[in-house]
Structure 1
Amino acid sequence: MAIIINIYYSGKDGNAKKFAQEMVSSGIVSDIRAEDGNIGYEYFFPMDDEETVLLIDSWDDQYSIDAHHASPMMAKITKLREKYGLHMRVERYVSDETGIPAADRAFIKE
């Protein structure tokens, strides 16, 4: 089972993108990706919303997320969110262990 968390960061004057850029350039993203249990940590930019950045954050389990939240890393992230005046909307998903149904595979080109 994997836990996938979508975090939509929104701000003003391009601050969400500046936040994501600083997360990468400061090495915080690399450090998070190296944490035990992290499966993926990737930023995306919605085409129709210049003031929002989507983070897709994936973890092996809740224990890994709890360890991440208890780490000194969270203070760095919080400080950057405050620096850029960001707001967040969060979605949480648990992976489907059965995988993609055969009926849906007909629409996927690999």
Structure 2
Amino acid sequence: MKIMPITVNILYSGTGTNAQDFANEMMSTGVVSQIRQESGNLRYNYFTDMEDNQSVLLIDEWTDQAAIDDHHKSDMMTTIAELRIKYHLKMQVTRYVRDEK
């Protein structure tokens, strides 16, 4: 069976430094570390745009859809949703499937 990793880009946008504060809280509370330890997680990193301080980009990569589904069933999703609400963030999601030839 051919593995086709899935990369999910999530652009979090808010007002002021809310998106950056969200990412900082995700890091400082250990949620990011826990996600990185989940089975099938290949990458989970936040990036900032030098020209847009109101947004943060999350690049998160998984071995397959089953790994993403397991992640979405985890308790961490509740924490992430609560923090998104706390910081009044909007999300724009883009998915990419890498074709390993």
TM-score band w.r.t. shorter chain: over 0.9
The structure having more radius of gyration, on CA atoms, is 1
Q: Could you tell me which residue of structure 1 aligns to residue 83 of structure 2?
A: 80
Q: Could you tell me which residue of structure 2 aligns to residue 70 of structure 1?
A: 73
State the distance in 1 between where 2:70 and 2:94 align: 19
Q: How many residues align?
A: 98
Q: Could you tell me which residue of structure 2 aligns to residue 50 of structure 1?
A: 53
Flag structure 1 segments of 5+ consecutive residues without an equivalent.
99-110
Taking structure 2 as the reference length, what is the TM-score of the superposition?
0.95
Flag structure 2 segments of 5+ consecutive residues without an equivalent.
none
Q: Which has the higher strand share?
A: 2
Shift of 1:47: 1.3
Q: Could you tell me which residue of structure 2 aligns to residue 16 of structure 1?
A: 19
Taking structure 1 as the reference length, what is the TM-score of the superposition?
0.87
2:95 to 79, 92, 95: 92
Task: List, as ranges, runs of 4+ consecutive aligned residues in structure 1 with deviation greater than 4 Å.
Answer: none
Q: Could you tell me which residue of structure 2 aligns to residue 28 of structure 1?
A: 31
State the distance in 2 between where 1:96 and 1:66 align: 20
Q: Percent identity?
A: 56
**2:44 corresponds to 1:41:** yes
